[in-house]
Amino acid sequence: MDELLERLIESNRHYTTAGKLANYIPELAKANQNELGIYVVSSDGRTSFAGDCQKNFTIQSIIKPILLLLALMDNGEEMVRSHVGVEATGKPFDAINYTDQTLLSEHLNPMVNMGAILLCTLIKGQSYSEKFERLLELTRTLAGNPDITVNEAVYQSEKRTGSRNRALAFLLKSQGLLSDDVEEVLDCYFRGCSIQVNCKDLANIGFTFANRGRRPVSEERVFSARFAHYVNAVLMTCGMYDGAGDFAVRVGLPAKSGVGGGIMAISPTRMGIGIYSPGLDQKGNSLAGIHVLEDLSHTLYLSVF
């Protein structure tokens, strides 16, 4: 497996410079675009890796499935579904645009920013600082890494430049879907996106979802198999932004990307995969990372289809 991963990294390395860094968050524009790494945790307990897999980067939108999981653990499926939907667009089949209708909870998707911001309000805690600490602790547990922390420079950069996310939060508030203080909610969200991980962390998180809620090796149960099913299904249809359909055809795995360059991919019952390459395609997904995943999926027949 190590030889295969090394070969895939080298054969796809030329894609690293074809993408664009997420320069709308100034700290992310400082990334080394030449970096590309992968880490795989298999169901037999073996780990394999290649390239720049030890490089730290911020989790960004890959926090969204963890946010969804924590909301499910705290509230149950029925309550979460009453606040945040699961459809890829939230639009009826004949809708022209969102201005034709009132914004409703079923229009919100947990894998895009507006839905994830609302998920922050569903986490239990006396304050948003406590809510975030519980989110951070769950991330550490899933990754098996107690040293995971927040990249303060990225957090401050996101907070300074987060005008669009503020607009989304105030839209939620104007529609009566969010009642808490916008800045407190967004602070939790910005901190969550600024959690610092590496490919190994993402592979361990992905494996726990692939293993129906049980950690690698120890088989310790972290969450129910039903919640794994729920999150994996949402990732399959919505995890790669508006490139999810193309990704399903090319790769065929539940996955979540982040604009920091990470991808967490899940091969149910088989493996968890963590990839890093900060150059992004037009959809905001790691360009080289998708090519590596596509080749790995084809080689090992990983597609769920």
Q: Are both 52 and 73 inside the same structural domain?
A: no
Smallest CA-to-CA distance from 90 within 72, 110, 76, 74 is with: 110
Q: 48, 61, 286, 297: which is the annotated catalytic residue? A: 61
- Of the residues 130, 164, 193, the one at which a domain ends: 193
Residue 20's φ and ψ, nearest 5 degrees, are: -125, 140
Q: 15, 189, 230, 276: which is the annotated catalytic residue? A: 189
Identify whether 246 is part of a domain.
yes
**pLDDT at position 91, please?**
57
> Which domain, by its residues, includes 171?
61-92+101-193
For residue 259, indicate whether it is catalytic. yes
d(C-alpha 298, C-alpha 31), whole Å = 29
Question: Do the Cβ atoms of 239 and 65 come closer than 8 Å?
Answer: yes
Q: Are both 70 and 176 inside the same structural domain?
A: yes
- Of the residues 193, 227, 262, the one at which a domain ends: 193
Smallest CA-to-CA distance from 271 within 208, 220, 198 is with: 208
- Tell me the torsion sign for CA atoms 218, 224, 225, 228: negative
d(C-alpha 136, C-alpha 131), whole Å = 9
> What's the number of CA atoms in the CB half-sphere (13 Å) around residue 75?
21
Smallest CA-to-CA distance from 25 within 151, 133, 142 is with: 151
d(C-alpha 131, C-alpha 196), whole Å = 18
For residue 230, indicate whether it is catalytic. no
Smallest CA-to-CA distance from 243 within 56, 43, 88 is with: 88
Q: Are both 106 and 178 inside the same structural domain?
A: yes
For residue 64, indicate whether it is catalytic. yes
Q: Tell me the whole-structure pTM to 2 decimals.
A: 0.95
For residue 301, indicate whether it is catalytic. no
Q: What are the 10-residue block averages of pLDDT along the chain, 305 residues in total?
A: 97 96 94 97 95 97 98 97 84 50 78 94 97 98 97 96 94 93 97 98 98 92 97 95 92 97 98 98 96 98 96
For residue 20, indicate whether it is catalytic. no
Identify whether 305 is part of a domain.
no
- Of the residues 158, 193, 228, the one at which a domain ends: 193
**pLDDT at position 129, please?**
97
Residue 33's φ and ψ, nearest 5 degrees, are: -70, -15
